[in-house]
Structure 1
Amino acid sequence: MESDYVRVCPLEDVPAGEARGFSLEGYDIAVFNTGEEIYAIENRCPHMGAELSEGEIVDRSVCCHDHGWVINLETGEVEDRDADGVATFPVQVRDDAIWVLLA
Protein backbone atom coordinates (compact mmCIF):
# COMPACT_ATOMS: atom_id res chain seq x y z
CA MET A 1 0.00 0.00 0.00
CA GLU A 2 1.30 3.45 -0.90
CA SER A 3 0.85 4.78 2.65
CA ASP A 4 3.30 2.16 3.99
CA TYR A 5 6.17 3.65 1.99
CA VAL A 6 8.63 5.93 3.80
CA ARG A 7 9.97 9.08 2.13
CA VAL A 8 13.75 8.86 1.80
CA CYS A 9 14.80 12.07 0.05
CA PRO A 10 14.20 14.28 -2.98
CA LEU A 11 15.05 12.48 -6.23
CA GLU A 12 17.67 15.12 -7.01
CA ASP A 13 19.67 14.06 -3.90
CA VAL A 14 20.70 10.82 -5.65
CA PRO A 15 21.88 11.84 -9.14
CA ALA A 16 22.21 9.33 -11.99
CA GLY A 17 25.20 7.05 -11.51
CA GLU A 18 25.42 7.69 -7.77
CA ALA A 19 24.31 6.21 -4.46
CA ARG A 20 23.59 7.51 -0.97
CA GLY A 21 23.27 5.84 2.41
CA PHE A 22 20.36 6.52 4.77
CA SER A 23 19.22 5.40 8.22
CA LEU A 24 15.43 5.09 8.34
CA GLU A 25 13.36 3.59 11.13
CA GLY A 26 16.17 1.30 12.27
CA TYR A 27 17.24 0.27 8.76
CA ASP A 28 20.52 1.24 7.11
CA ILE A 29 19.78 1.37 3.40
CA ALA A 30 21.64 2.35 0.26
CA VAL A 31 19.74 4.04 -2.55
CA PHE A 32 21.19 3.71 -6.05
CA ASN A 33 20.30 5.64 -9.21
CA THR A 34 21.57 3.74 -12.26
CA GLY A 35 20.24 6.42 -14.59
CA GLU A 36 17.45 4.06 -15.63
CA GLU A 37 16.13 2.80 -12.30
CA ILE A 38 16.21 3.54 -8.57
CA TYR A 39 17.10 0.67 -6.21
CA ALA A 40 17.25 0.35 -2.44
CA ILE A 41 19.19 -2.39 -0.65
CA GLU A 42 20.68 -3.07 2.75
CA ASN A 43 23.75 -0.83 3.10
CA ARG A 44 26.09 -3.58 4.29
CA CYS A 45 28.31 -5.84 2.24
CA PRO A 46 27.79 -9.46 3.36
CA HIS A 47 31.55 -10.05 3.22
CA MET A 48 32.98 -7.62 5.79
CA GLY A 49 30.18 -5.11 6.43
CA ALA A 50 31.42 -2.23 4.27
CA GLU A 51 28.87 0.40 3.23
CA LEU A 52 27.64 -0.53 -0.24
CA SER A 53 26.62 3.08 -0.87
CA GLU A 54 30.37 3.79 -1.21
CA GLY A 55 30.75 1.20 -3.99
CA GLU A 56 30.79 1.59 -7.76
CA ILE A 57 27.61 1.10 -9.78
CA VAL A 58 28.16 -1.27 -12.72
CA ASP A 59 25.01 -1.78 -14.80
CA ARG A 60 22.44 -3.16 -12.30
CA SER A 61 25.01 -4.11 -9.67
CA VAL A 62 27.25 -2.47 -7.10
CA CYS A 63 30.89 -3.41 -6.60
CA CYS A 64 31.91 -3.11 -2.95
CA HIS A 65 34.79 -0.68 -2.54
CA ASP A 66 36.59 -2.81 0.10
CA HIS A 67 37.11 -6.22 -1.52
CA GLY A 68 35.28 -6.14 -4.85
CA TRP A 69 32.24 -8.25 -4.02
CA VAL A 70 29.48 -7.58 -6.57
CA ILE A 71 25.87 -7.34 -5.38
CA ASN A 72 22.91 -7.42 -7.79
CA LEU A 73 20.76 -4.35 -7.10
CA GLU A 74 17.54 -6.05 -8.25
CA THR A 75 17.84 -9.26 -6.23
CA GLY A 76 20.39 -8.49 -3.50
CA GLU A 77 22.29 -11.64 -4.46
CA VAL A 78 26.07 -11.82 -4.43
CA GLU A 79 27.35 -12.45 -7.95
CA ASP A 80 30.00 -15.13 -8.63
CA ARG A 81 30.17 -16.29 -4.98
CA ASP A 82 28.30 -18.74 -2.80
CA ALA A 83 27.28 -16.30 -0.06
CA ASP A 84 24.18 -14.81 1.50
CA GLY A 85 22.98 -11.64 -0.19
CA VAL A 86 21.44 -8.47 1.22
CA ALA A 87 17.86 -7.33 1.71
CA THR A 88 16.20 -5.37 -1.08
CA PHE A 89 13.41 -2.83 -0.62
CA PRO A 90 10.64 -1.88 -3.07
CA VAL A 91 11.02 1.68 -4.37
CA GLN A 92 8.58 4.25 -5.69
CA VAL A 93 9.38 7.62 -7.21
CA ARG A 94 6.54 10.07 -6.71
CA ASP A 95 6.21 13.79 -6.08
CA ASP A 96 9.88 14.14 -7.17
CA ALA A 97 10.96 12.06 -4.16
CA ILE A 98 12.25 8.55 -3.48
CA TRP A 99 10.07 6.35 -1.26
CA VAL A 100 10.87 2.84 0.06
CA LEU A 101 8.85 0.07 1.65
CA LEU A 102 10.83 -1.05 4.70
CA ALA A 103 8.66 -3.87 6.03
Structure 2
Amino acid sequence: MKHGEFIRVCSLDEVPAGEARAFTVEGYDIAIFNTGDELYAIENRCPHMGAELAEGEMIDRTVCCHEHGWVIDLETGEVVDQEESGVATFPVQVKDGEILVQLA
Protein backbone atom coordinates (compact mmCIF):
# COMPACT_ATOMS: atom_id res chain seq x y z
CA MET A 1 0.00 0.00 0.00
CA LYS A 2 1.40 3.37 -1.02
CA HIS A 3 1.13 6.40 1.26
CA GLY A 4 -2.08 8.27 0.50
CA GLU A 5 -3.56 5.42 -1.54
CA PHE A 6 -7.29 4.71 -1.25
CA ILE A 7 -8.12 1.05 -0.54
CA ARG A 8 -11.36 -0.70 -1.50
CA VAL A 9 -13.52 -1.65 1.48
CA CYS A 10 -16.79 -2.83 -0.07
CA SER A 11 -19.49 -1.98 -2.58
CA LEU A 12 -21.73 0.97 -1.76
CA ASP A 13 -24.82 -1.22 -1.56
CA GLU A 14 -23.26 -3.20 1.33
CA VAL A 15 -23.77 -0.17 3.62
CA PRO A 16 -27.38 1.01 3.12
CA ALA A 17 -28.43 4.55 4.01
CA GLY A 18 -28.98 4.95 7.75
CA GLU A 19 -26.78 1.97 8.62
CA ALA A 20 -23.21 1.07 9.53
CA ARG A 21 -21.02 -1.94 8.86
CA ALA A 22 -17.73 -3.16 10.34
CA PHE A 23 -14.76 -4.18 8.18
CA THR A 24 -11.12 -5.13 8.68
CA VAL A 25 -8.93 -3.54 6.02
CA GLU A 26 -5.13 -3.90 5.98
CA GLY A 27 -5.24 -4.71 9.72
CA TYR A 28 -7.45 -1.73 10.62
CA ASP A 29 -10.87 -2.33 12.22
CA ILE A 30 -13.08 0.26 10.52
CA ALA A 31 -16.74 1.17 10.79
CA ILE A 32 -18.35 2.67 7.69
CA PHE A 33 -21.43 4.83 8.38
CA ASN A 34 -23.87 5.89 5.66
CA THR A 35 -26.03 8.82 6.81
CA GLY A 36 -27.85 8.88 3.50
CA ASP A 37 -26.07 12.11 2.55
CA GLU A 38 -22.49 11.26 3.49
CA LEU A 39 -20.19 8.33 4.20
CA TYR A 40 -17.87 8.29 7.21
CA ALA A 41 -15.11 5.85 8.16
CA ILE A 42 -13.88 5.70 11.74
CA GLU A 43 -11.97 3.34 13.98
CA ASN A 44 -14.48 0.69 15.08
CA ARG A 45 -13.59 0.86 18.77
CA CYS A 46 -15.13 3.08 21.43
CA PRO A 47 -12.35 4.82 23.41
CA HIS A 48 -14.21 4.13 26.66
CA MET A 49 -14.37 0.32 26.86
CA GLY A 50 -13.58 -0.86 23.33
CA ALA A 51 -17.12 -1.69 22.14
CA GLU A 52 -17.72 -1.89 18.39
CA LEU A 53 -19.06 1.47 17.23
CA ALA A 54 -20.70 -0.07 14.15
CA GLU A 55 -23.19 -1.63 16.59
CA GLY A 56 -24.17 1.78 18.00
CA GLU A 57 -27.08 4.06 17.11
CA MET A 58 -26.38 6.63 14.40
CA ILE A 59 -27.95 10.02 15.08
CA ASP A 60 -27.27 12.69 12.44
CA ARG A 61 -23.44 12.87 12.22
CA THR A 62 -22.79 10.98 15.46
CA VAL A 63 -22.85 7.44 16.76
CA CYS A 64 -23.95 6.55 20.28
CA CYS A 65 -21.98 3.59 21.64
CA HIS A 66 -24.33 0.74 22.51
CA GLU A 67 -22.37 -0.20 25.66
CA HIS A 68 -22.32 2.97 27.77
CA GLY A 69 -23.81 5.72 25.63
CA TRP A 70 -20.68 7.64 24.68
CA VAL A 71 -21.34 9.80 21.63
CA ILE A 72 -18.70 10.05 18.87
CA ASP A 73 -18.69 12.69 16.12
CA LEU A 74 -18.40 10.80 12.83
CA GLU A 75 -16.61 13.63 11.02
CA THR A 76 -13.97 14.47 13.64
CA GLY A 77 -13.81 11.27 15.71
CA GLU A 78 -14.09 13.37 18.87
CA VAL A 79 -16.02 12.20 21.90
CA VAL A 80 -18.94 14.56 22.57
CA ASP A 81 -19.27 15.87 26.15
CA GLN A 82 -16.31 13.85 27.47
CA GLU A 83 -12.72 14.82 28.08
CA GLU A 84 -11.34 11.68 26.49
CA SER A 85 -9.38 11.12 23.32
CA GLY A 86 -11.47 10.22 20.30
CA VAL A 87 -11.11 7.68 17.53
CA ALA A 88 -9.25 7.75 14.24
CA THR A 89 -11.13 8.93 11.17
CA PHE A 90 -10.33 7.99 7.59
CA PRO A 91 -11.03 9.88 4.34
CA VAL A 92 -13.71 8.14 2.26
CA GLN A 93 -14.61 8.27 -1.40
CA VAL A 94 -16.95 6.39 -3.70
CA LYS A 95 -15.67 5.36 -7.11
CA ASP A 96 -17.62 3.21 -9.57
CA GLY A 97 -20.00 2.09 -6.81
CA GLU A 98 -17.16 1.05 -4.49
CA ILE A 99 -16.35 2.54 -1.07
CA LEU A 100 -12.66 3.38 -0.71
CA VAL A 101 -10.80 4.60 2.39
CA GLN A 102 -7.40 6.20 2.84
CA LEU A 103 -5.62 4.50 5.73
CA ALA A 104 -2.29 6.34 5.87
TM bin, normalised by shorter chain, reads over 0.9
How big is the alpha-carbon RMSD for the aligned residues of Structure 1 and Structure 2? 1.2
Moved over 6 A (4+): none
- Cα deviation for residue 53 of structure 1 reads 0.4
Would you say how many aligned residue pairs link Structure 1 and Structure 2?
102
Q: How far does residue 14 in structure 1 lie from its aligned partner after superposition?
A: 0.1
Q: Does 1:5 align with 2:6?
A: yes
- DSSP 3-state at the match of 2:16: coil
1:81 to partner: Cα distance: 0.6
- Tell me the equivalent position of 1:32: 33
Task: Give the gaps of 5 or more residues in structure 1.
Answer: none
CA distance in 1, matches of 2:13, 2:27: 24
Q: Give distance in 2, aligned partners of 1:67 and 1:35.
A: 26
Residue identity over aligned pairs, in percent, reads: 71
TM-score (norm 1): 0.96
TM-score, length basis structure 2: 0.96
CA–CA distance in structure 1, aligned partners of residues 13 and 82 of structure 2:
34
CA positional deviation for 1:5: 0.4
